[in-house]
Structures are given as structure tokens and as C-alpha cells.
């Protein structure tokens, strides 16, 4: 049983939004190295729902432990969102013809 349904729903909304954005960027980029960065960020964000939140649903916790688990989940999401923001910035700056160097 999840005690803080609103917090979990907010995390899932953030995950869905970022996955949609990364998918849109990926659809326009051809550079293989940049696409690998998109794939990595996508996997990190997907893991939040498929691993962290799924574990919360499968293994009930006390409200205190759930809060602790969600705090770490949100922290992990913030790190993944930073990576996603960097990808979005580079895409907006250089467009679909972005080319990785090095």
C-alpha cells in the first residue's frame, strides 16, 4: 500500500513528461553518440518508474520508510532531470544536426 499517493503521482508525471521530451529529441537527432546520451538519460528516468516505484508497490513500507524511499527516488529523478536538461539545451542550441566531437 502506498501511503502518499499524491507524491507518487507527481513523480510519475515528471517521469512521463521527461520521457516524452527525450523521445521527441531522439526522433530528430541522427548523431549516434548524442543518441547514446539520450538513451542513457531515458533509461535512468525509466528506471525510476519500473524499478524504484515498482518496488514501492510490491514491498509495502511504513509511512516513514516510504517517505525515505520517495526522497531518494526524487533525488535520483533530479539527477536524471539534470542530464535531460543538458540534452534539451544542446538540442535547442545546435538543432537536429548536432554532431558529437571526440
- Mark residue 95 as left, alpha or beta (left: phi above 0; alpha: psi -120 to 50; beta: remaining): left
| pLDDT tens-digit series, residues 3-52 | 999 999 999 999 999 999 999 999 999 999 999 999 999 999 999 999 99
97 DSSP 8-state letter? T
Q: For every residue of 58-78, which 3-state class applies, written as one string?
A: HCCCCHHHHHHHHHHHHHHHH
Residues 27, 14: Cα–Cα separation, whole Å: 20
Q: Count Cβ atoms below 10 Å from residue 57 Cβ, excluding itself.
A: 10
What confidence tier does 1 reach under pLDDT thresholds 50, 70, 90? confident
Check: pTM over 0.85? Answer yes or no: yes
Q: What ranges do the domains of the chain cover?
A: 32-96
Amino acid at each position: 500500500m502506498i501511503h502518499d499517493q499524491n507524491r507518487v503521482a507527481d513523480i510519475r508525471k515528471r517521469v512521463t513528461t521527461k520521457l516524452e521530451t527525450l523521445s521527441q529529441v531522439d526522433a530528430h537527432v541522427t548523431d549516434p553518440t548524442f543518441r547514446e546520451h539520450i538513451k542513457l538519460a531515458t533509461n535512468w528516468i525509466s528506471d525510476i518508474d519500473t524499478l524504484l516505484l515498482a518496488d514501492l508497490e510490491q514491498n509495502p513500507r511504513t509511512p516513514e520508510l516510504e517517505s525515505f524511499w520517495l526522497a531518494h527516488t526524487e533525488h535520483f529523478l533530479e539527477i536524471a532531470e539534470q542530464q535531460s536538461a543538458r540534452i534539451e539545451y544542446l538540442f535547442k542550441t545546435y538543432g537536429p544536426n548536432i554532431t558529437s566531437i571526440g
